[in-house]
Amino acid sequence: ARAPGNSPVFRIGGWSTVRQGMTWLQRKLEDRFNSNNVPKNGIVLSPPAPHNGTIQALLDIWEGDDTSGFEAECPVGAMTVALGLQLMHSRKSALPLDGVAITSEFRHQSIFQSTDTLAKIVTGYDYQSAVTEAETEQSQFEVRMPVGRSWHEVSFLEVLESGWPLFGLLDLAARVGQSSGHLFERVDMHGDEYHFPLRLARPPCQLEPWLGGAKAADGPEV
């Protein structure tokens, strides 16, 4: 993928540079999680870390710039960046590797949305209509955002061939959530705090059939 000249990613070297940075970040997050050494004040990106400048600039872009063009520029990269940055610095708690926050993001399908895009979606969300629909169908009400076009447009094989560490970060996110024990969200209602259990997230996913051969054995090894 090539970042156009007016893209925020162009300012930090393009998507190839970002991919290298996210691959490095995945390894750093894995090391922190496996060693059970997660500092409460966050994961410090400082020299001699080879990609600290890229990741810090990317975090600033993700939290403050218009990132609406990311999905069109590099769909796999947009999802990887969203997930990696949320694991490094949760927008809910500002903590790294926060199992409750990351599970909540998945549950509400907001994990792949940038802060700017999510704010726009929330502003236009018709809460009352959603509650009414749930009551009419006698189903449990949950706030769920659009998961994003990238999730539906990118195939399983394309992610594997892209070189982006999306599946590695998804695996890490699952382990972080699982290791956090009993998960619940705090919701304030009329001055009282209520705890609601977080059920496991189940984002819609359908692996595309392998079209390269007549037999399953001819397909790619995963």
Dump strand ranges (E) for 44-178: none
Place of tokens 């993700």: 62
Q: Which residue has the higher pLDDT, 197 or 221?
A: 197
Q: What percent of the chain has pLDDT over 70?
A: 77
Predicted confidence (pLDDT) at residue 218 exceeds the cutoff of 70:
no
Q: How confident is the model at residue 5 (pLDDT cuts 50, 70, 90)?
A: low
- pLDDT, mean of residues 168-175: 93
Long-range contacts of 50-54 (CB under 8 A, 24+ apart): 50/24, 51/20, 51/21, 51/24, 51/25, 53/12, 54/12, 54/13, 54/17, 54/18, 54/20, 54/21
Given a contact cutoff of 8 angstroms between Cβ atoms, the answer to whether 78 and 71 are in contact is yes
Q: How confident is the model at residue 76 (pLDDT cuts 50, 70, 90)?
A: very high
- pLDDT, mean of residues 85-92: 90
- pLDDT, mean of residues 47-52: 66
- pLDDT, mean of residues 158-178: 92
Place of tokens 């502003």: 123
pLDDT of residue 193: 78
Q: What is the mean pLDDT of the chain?
A: 79
Q: Which of the residue ranges 67-81, 99-113, 186-200, 206-220 would you say has the lowest mean pLDDT?
A: 206-220
Predicted confidence (pLDDT) at residue 53 exceeds the cutoff of 60:
yes
- pLDDT, mean of residues 46-51: 61
Q: How confident is the model at residue 93 (pLDDT cuts 50, 70, 90)?
A: confident
C-alpha torsion sign, points 29, 206, 119, 184: negative
- pLDDT, mean of residues 151-160: 89
